[in-house]
Structure 1
C-alpha cells in the first residue's frame, strides 16, 4: 500500500499512529539484545529535548539544487525526503549487467581522472620512470610511449568523469526512484520495511565506532530496533537497523538525530532544510506554522539562496554552520523514552562528558556521565521552536 493510500485522520491529516514526542505510548520492557555484543556502541542518544539544529550535510546540501532544477515537477517523487516519507532505499529499474558496467565505469573514471582522482599521481610515477629509463630505450618513441599511453588513459578518465557528473542526474530521473516502502513515514509514524512496519518510537539510536585497519576510527548513527525478537531479519541473526552517515564530527550525528526526530514528530514543523522546502505547504503542521508567520522566511528562501549565491558564498555559509553545530552543547539532556519504557533508564549508556570533543579509541580512557532523569512535568509538554528561524 502506498503512502497516499494509508488512512489519515481527516481533522489533522495524520494517522492515529503518527509520532508525537509529547504522547509516546507505554511500551514493554526493553530486552537485552545479545546480537549487539562485540559492537562498539559508544552512547545512546536521547529522545526529545530538541535543539532544532540540522546537520550541515542537510542544511547546506551541495547537490540538491542541481537535482531540483533538472528534475523539476517530478522532484517530489524522485527526492529522498519529502513531506510524507524519508526513504532509505533506492529502487532501480535496470538490469544486473548494466549495474556492473556502471560500477566499472565509475571506478575507472574516478580513479584515473586528473580532476579529483589519482591521475596526476599515476602520471607523475610514469614520468619519473620515463626519465630514469630513457637512456635504456632504443628510441625516444619507445621511451615516451608508456607515458603517452598513461596520459591518454587518464585524460579519457577525466573526460568520462566530467560527463558522469554532468549527466548522471538524467540517469537518476529515468531509472531510479526512492522507495516509498522502505522509509520513515511522517504521516503514520511508522518505519516501513520488507519485514513489516514498526513504530518509530521502538528504535533506539546509538553512535557506533569502528576502527579501520590502520587505526583510524569511524563513527556513524545507528537506529536499532529495540525488540529484536519481533524484527529479526530472515536468513540472518541480525535485528532490524538503519545507518545514517553524516560527514563531520560527533556533533553532526547528534544534529542528524535531532533532525530525524523533528521530521517524524507531527507536533513539530518539518525541519527547515532545502530538500523539503518545496513541500512545506503539503504538511498540515508545517503549513499552519508557516502561515502563522513563525518560520520568518519567504516560502522559497532556500531556492533563492542557492540561485543567487556563488559557490564560494555557499562554502562560507556551510563552514559557518558546521562551526555552529560543533559548538552547540549537545549533552546534559533528559531522555523522554524513560517515561514510556519501564527499564529504559536501567539499560542506558552514559554519554560523553564533552560531546563536542568526544573521539577516542576503545582502549583509551574517556569520561562518561549520566544524563538527567526525565520528568513528566518538565518534558511532556508540546515543544515548539523559539522565535528564531528553525535551523
Structure 2
C-alpha cells in the first residue's frame, strides 16, 4: 500500500482479527463462482493502494461544516453546564449509521422518509419540465391556430395550468412537511445494511430474513467475515437509458456474502469504483493511519496507529478545520486528479500470494 506502514502498536485497542496489509494470512483456495456471478464483472487487485477517496467523503465534512459543528458543540456544552440546554428534535434517535475511526456502518432512511424526499425532489423536477413544455406548447399553438390569441389562451390555459399545478403541489407539500413537520417524515429504517469495522477487521452484512427470526421477534441476523476474505468487483450494468455504468461490490470468497456500494455514489466511471476500493483498504488497514480526510480529523487521536503517526510526523491537529474554502477547493481538485489517473488496472493482485483463485 502507498504510505509507510506503521510499526506495531502495543495496544489492546485492535482486535486479533483486525486487518493489517503487512500481516496477510494464507487462506484456502477460493470457491468457484457461477457463470452468472462472473459475467460482466471484473475482479480488482488487492494492495498498492493510493491515497484517494470519493468527493462525497470530503464535501460532506468540509472545513466550514467542521467549524460550524465545533461552534455548535461549544454552545451545547455551555448550555449543559448552565442547565439550559434543550435537545434538538431527533437528536437522540438512532438512525443506525456511523462513519468514524472505528467503523463505517451504512443504513438507508425508512420508506416513509423516502416517500416525502422523492415527492419533494420529483415534484420540483417535474414542475420545471411541465412549465417549459407548457410554455412551448402555448406559443406553438398560438402561432399555429388562426383563432385570436385570447380565445386560444382561454382554451389552453386550464389544461396547461393543470400540468403545472400537480407537480407544483407535490413539491410544495413535500417541502412543507420536510421543513415544518419532521414528525411526519423523519423515521429511522429498521436497521443498518452493512458495516466495515476497522477496529475488529470484520465485515458484516445484516440479515433481515434470518430464517424467519426477524419477522417472529425482530432479531436481525449478522453475516460476518474478516475483511481480507472479500474480493472487490466492478459490475458493468446498463442503466434505465441503456447506457453502460459501473458499480462496486465486495463478495466473500467462500460464502454468499455480498455488499453492493451503489448507494454511496451514482453509477458511472470505473475510476470511482477503483478509488472507493482503495479507500476501503486504507481505512481498514491498521498498519497505517486513517485516511487523512476532514471527517476523521476529530477522531485521529483516538486511533492508536493514527495517533502515533501524527505524533511522529507532527501533523497539525487542525489541518482541515482551519482550512479556508479556496485551499479546500484545491484539495478537492487534486483528489479528482488522483482519481482520474488511478492505476488500479495495471497493478498485480497481491492477494494471489496468499490465495489460489480457481476462477
- Whether 2:188 is the aligned partner of 1:176: answer yes
Shift of the alpha carbon at 1:149? Answer: 3.9
Q: Name the SS for the 1:176 alignment partner.
A: coil
TM-score, with structure 2 as normaliser: 0.71
Shift of the alpha carbon at 1:279? Answer: 1.4
Q: Provide the residue aligned with 2:127 in structure 1.
A: 119
Q: Provide the residue aligned with 1:321 in structure 2.
A: 335
Q: Provide the residue aligned with 1:380 in structure 2.
A: none
Q: Provide the residue aligned with 1:146 in structure 2.
A: 159
Alpha-carbon distance change, 68 to 86 in structure 1, aligned in 2, over 3 angstroms: farther
- Relative to structure 2, which stretch is displaced further, 23-32 or 181-190? 181-190
Q: Structure 2: how far apart are the matches of 1:280 and 1:54?
A: 17
8 Å contact 1:88–1:179 — kept in the other structure?
A: no
Q: Structure 1: how far apart are the matches of 2:188 and 2:283?
A: 24
Bigger relative CO (Cα 8 Å, ≥ 6 apart): 2
- Return 5+ residue gaps in structure 2 as ranges: 1-8, 74-90, 208-221
- Return 5+ residue gaps in structure 1 as ranges: 1-8, 229-238, 348-391
Q: Structure 1: how far apart are the matches of 2:10 and 2:180?
A: 42
Q: Name the SS for the 2:308 alignment partner.
A: helix
Q: Structure 2: how far apart are the matches of 1:13 and 1:121?
A: 55
Q: What are the Cα deviations for residues 308-343 of structure 1, in whole angstroms up to 9, with x where unaligned?
A: 427xx76665344312320233343232212221x2
8 Å contact 2:11–2:304 — kept in the other structure?
A: no
Q: Name the SS for the 1:219 alignment partner.
A: strand
TM-score, with structure 1 as normaliser: 0.66
Q: What are the Cα deviations for residues 200-251 of structure 1, in whole angstroms up to 9, with x where unaligned?
A: 11101111101235431010111011103xxxxxxxxxx2111123455322
Q: Provide the residue aligned with 1:54 in structure 2.
A: 53
Q: Provide the residue aligned with 1:105 in structure 2.
A: 116
RMSD: 3.9
8 Å contact 1:55–1:253 — kept in the other structure?
A: no
Q: Structure 2: how far apart are the matches of 1:46 and 1:178?
A: 34
8 Å contact 2:16–2:200 — kept in the other structure?
A: yes
- Whether 2:261 is the aligned partner of 1:244: answer yes
Shift of the alpha carbon at 1:151? Answer: 4.0
Shift of the alpha carbon at 1:121? Answer: 2.0
8 Å contact 1:126–1:146 — kept in the other structure?
A: no
Q: What are the Cα deviations for residues 30-49 of structure 1, in whole angstroms up to 9, with x where unaligned?
A: 121227446311x2112221
Alpha-carbon distance change, 224 to 121 in structure 1, aligned in 2, over 3 angstroms: same
Q: Structure 2: how far apart are the matches of 1:32 and 1:88?
A: 29
Which aligned pairs between 1:304-343 and structure 2 lie closer than 5 A?
Answer: 304-305=322-323, 308-309=324-325, 317-341=331-355, 343=356
Q: Give the counterpart of 2:294 among 269, 274, 280.
A: 274
8 Å contact 1:191–1:197 — kept in the other structure?
A: yes
| Number of equivalent positions | 308
Q: Give the counterpart of 2:233 among 206, 209, 223.
A: 206
